[in-house]
Structure 1
Amino acid sequence: MKTSWRSASLAAAAAAVLALTTACGQESGSPAAGSQNVGATAAAGDYGSDGSGSNGYGADSNGTPGASAAASQKAGELAVAADAKLGKVLTDSAGHTLYRFDEDTANPPKSTCDDACAKTWTPVPADGATAGTGVSKALLGEVTRSDGTKQLTVAGWPVYRYVKDTEAGQTEGQGVGGKWFALAPDGKKASLADLPGLSVKKTDLGDIVVDRNGMTVYRFMKDRAWPTPKSACTGACLEKWPAVAPVDPAGTKGVKKKGLMSFTRPDGVKQMTVNCWPIYTFSGDKQPGDLNGQGVGGTWYAVSPDGKPVGAPAE
């Protein structure tokens, strides 16, 4: 019985390795892993109230601030976050998504969300809000609300947080009532409609792969692709070189489909590959088209549509 059990275990492990190896040699891939809710359905009215008696951002029915209420008052330094579904999203200093309301106006600025609405969509105070990296100071302003308080505006649009976004990075308010939308850094509605998850861009280096935000995608020469993808970039390395999240191969353009798949890293993070090579972006690239990661340390290179490292020395 012991011999039989061991044989069965070894067979199962071999089958798992073979399955992944086979996937690397086929024109297939893994579907994108949804990270956030970007199609929230409206609850009562247009406010997205859940009927729980919530008194505001993280407050209970008695008006006692919840854990996140105090931290959510002043926006602090505004930042730009990359969302897998929405692209560049404006956040406060704590990483909470900021929203705009279609019934408001930007020219002139006017907030129409009061009373019950303002308990679910808390107005962001103008006081204490500053422009961080990727945010134009010239777009920041304020509007006087009906209660006399000053609310932050971006490109004229009054800014809010959503009560159901209890953690940084959540976008539960996106699309609520068909009138509430996450803010892009320029004050427009954050959107990646019709943009491919990965695509090809022509540069001085040649054709390279870029992500859905137009940011350059890189390969690490210490990684491996065969027999299974393996990343050598861990810990502090990932802070500088974020792993590209899985995308649906069907939603890519110009990238070789063979070996276009995702794998699960030892830290549990799912990472996309091109021709089975793990791919990354670079924290030093601030704008689409930047190539600041090219050749760093002699180990990081932009990725060609077939997964090769562009400009790397011949091995």
Structure 2
Amino acid sequence: MKTSWRSASLVASAAAVLVLTTACGQDKADTSTGSQNVGAAPAANGYGSAGAAASPSTGAGAAGQNTGAQTQSAGQLAVADTDKLGEVVTDSAGMTLYRFDKDTAEPPKSNCDGDCATAWPPVPASGATAPIGIDKTLLGEVTRTDGTKQLTYEGWPLYRFAKDTKAGDTKGQGVGGTWYATAPDGKKASGGGEAAAGGSAEAGDLPGLSTRNDPELGEVVVDKNGMTVYRFEKDVPWPMKSNCVGECLEKWPVVAPVDAADTKGIDNKNDGRRGYVVNNRPDGLKQQSIDCWPLYTFAGDKKPGDTNGQGVGGTWYAISPEGKPLGKPK
């Protein structure tokens, strides 16, 4: 695994999102559990499951995992060049370091406590160093609610993932639509490759939601990284409800809210009943929808243009710009 470094400046941005009120028949969050396609219990607070018998007070990781390895100092950080995600920040042992969308970088603040911190052990600030040639101000610390100091990178609190068991693992990427490996510039690692729309744009150059022409399925919705967007036939559009919860979200991360202005070729109208609105999920996640169908990507898709999620379980289908399931048998 090769490592390389580059300096970067902190970029902070805010995006306006649509808030679901009475559209799609959801006046308030639905607290019923519903069914999912993996037969698993909901993960703690929607943060992703760390495995059985983990204790929030100990910071233990997955069952049978070495707790000390999860809570030890990061040592001298490095950047690993991975095949799937490009460059990601790691600790001195090569373990991937993650950031959480529900945290803030300005000012730094961690919003991952309790069961969340079991699944995502915070990286201690003590003993962490930057390599020679890197501005030390990229590293910082934040005081957590329990009084401990957590390492930050470009302002973002850093975490390990309990299910990562060896150097190079990136099993936490995209979990819950809120957890991402940290890129060397402090942003979310998302991978590279050609844009699925057929151009040479890099991931992140596309609108928040757009379309591409798939040779087999036709016009398919894709996210900002060119990854195929899906709908789940066990979900309910009226009143809108997602039945993919808990461990299901590890395979099918939710698509975060995307402002209507940050779309191209998408049916982004909202008539107050059905339309382009945000699903306020009982687990606290906010999920974009088209025609009241909640949107997901698939963890099994590794590059733009992949449609490995198509037809999985007879319930998952790529979604059209109008919200229709593509390629679904009649």
TM-score, normalization by structure 2: 0.48
The alignment status of 1:196 with 2:187, answered yes or no, reads no
1:266 corresponds in structure 2 to: 282
Residue 74 of structure 1, CA deviation? 5.0
* Partners of 1:81 and 1:91 within 8 A in 2: no
Relative to structure 1, the CA distance from residue 309 to residue 264 in structure 2 (aligned partners, 3 Å threshold; closer, same or farther) is same
* Partners of 1:284 and 1:293 within 8 A in 2: yes
The alignment status of 1:209 with 2:224, answered yes or no, reads no
Distance of 1:196 and 1:78 partners within structure 2: 26
Relative to structure 1, the CA distance from residue 265 to residue 247 in structure 2 (aligned partners, 3 Å threshold; closer, same or farther) is same
Give SS of 1:202's match: strand
Give the AA of the match of 2:224: R
Give the AA of the match of 1:275: D
- Listed as ranges, the matches of 1:95-134 within 5 Å are 95-96=97-98, 114=133, 118-121=135-138
Counterpart of 2:296 (choices 260, 268, 280) is: 280
Give SS of 1:70's match: coil
1:70 corresponds in structure 2 to: 73
- CA RMSD, aligned part only? 4.0
For these two proteins, the number of residue pairs brought into alignment is 189
1:34 corresponds in structure 2 to: none
Relative to structure 1, the CA distance from residue 80 to residue 264 in structure 2 (aligned partners, 3 Å threshold; closer, same or farther) is farther
2:158 corresponds in structure 1 to: 167
- Listed as ranges, the matches of 1:1-315 within 5 Å are 19-21=22-24, 70-73=73-76, 75=78, 90-92=88-90, 93-96=95-98, 114=133, 118-121=135-138, 162=153, 164-168=155-159, 192-193=204-205, 195-203=206-214, 204-227=216-239, 229-258=240-269, 259-314=275-330
| 1:189-243 superposed Cα distances (whole Å, 9 cap, x missing partner) | x9734x210101101211110100000001100001113x210001111110111
Distance of 1:113 and 1:183 partners within structure 2: 23
Relative to structure 1, the CA distance from residue 172 to residue 17 in structure 2 (aligned partners, 3 Å threshold; closer, same or farther) is closer
Relative to structure 1, the CA distance from residue 215 to residue 113 in structure 2 (aligned partners, 3 Å threshold; closer, same or farther) is same
Residue 253 of structure 1, CA deviation? 0.5
Relative to structure 1, the CA distance from residue 218 to residue 71 in structure 2 (aligned partners, 3 Å threshold; closer, same or farther) is same
Residue 260 of structure 1, CA deviation? 1.3
4+ residue runs of structure 1 moved beyond 6 angstroms?
Answer: 170-173, 180-184
Relative to structure 1, the CA distance from residue 246 to residue 113 in structure 2 (aligned partners, 3 Å threshold; closer, same or farther) is same
Distance of 2:210 and 2:279 partners within structure 1: 20
Residue 292 of structure 1, CA deviation? 0.5
Distance of 1:257 and 1:278 partners within structure 2: 13
Give SS of 2:243's match: coil
* Partners of 2:190 and 2:225 within 8 A in 1: no
Q: By percentage of residues, which structure has more helix?
A: 1
Residue 247 of structure 1, CA deviation? 0.6
Distance of 1:76 and 1:232 partners within structure 2: 37
Residue 162 of structure 1, CA deviation? 3.4
Give the AA of the match of 2:257: P
Residue 262 of structure 1, CA deviation? 1.0
* Partners of 1:79 and 1:91 within 8 A in 2: no
Relative to structure 1, the CA distance from residue 303 to residue 181 in structure 2 (aligned partners, 3 Å threshold; closer, same or farther) is closer
* Partners of 1:89 and 1:182 within 8 A in 2: no
Give SS of 1:297's match: helix
Distance of 2:20 and 2:305 partners within structure 1: 37
Relative to structure 1, the CA distance from residue 202 to residue 236 in structure 2 (aligned partners, 3 Å threshold; closer, same or farther) is same
* Partners of 1:219 and 1:303 within 8 A in 2: yes
Residue 246 of structure 1, CA deviation? 0.7
Distance of 1:261 and 1:208 partners within structure 2: 19
Residue 299 of structure 1, CA deviation? 0.4
**Identity of paired residues, percent?**
46
* Partners of 2:88 and 2:182 within 8 A in 1: no
* Partners of 1:164 and 1:173 within 8 A in 2: no
- In our comparison, the structure showing a higher alpha carbon Rg is 1
| 1:284-307 superposed Cα distances (whole Å, 9 cap, x missing partner) | 100100010000010000001100
Q: Give structure 2 stretches of 5+ with no counterpart.
A: 1-18, 28-69, 100-129, 140-151, 160-179, 193-201, 270-274
* Partners of 2:20 and 2:278 within 8 A in 1: no
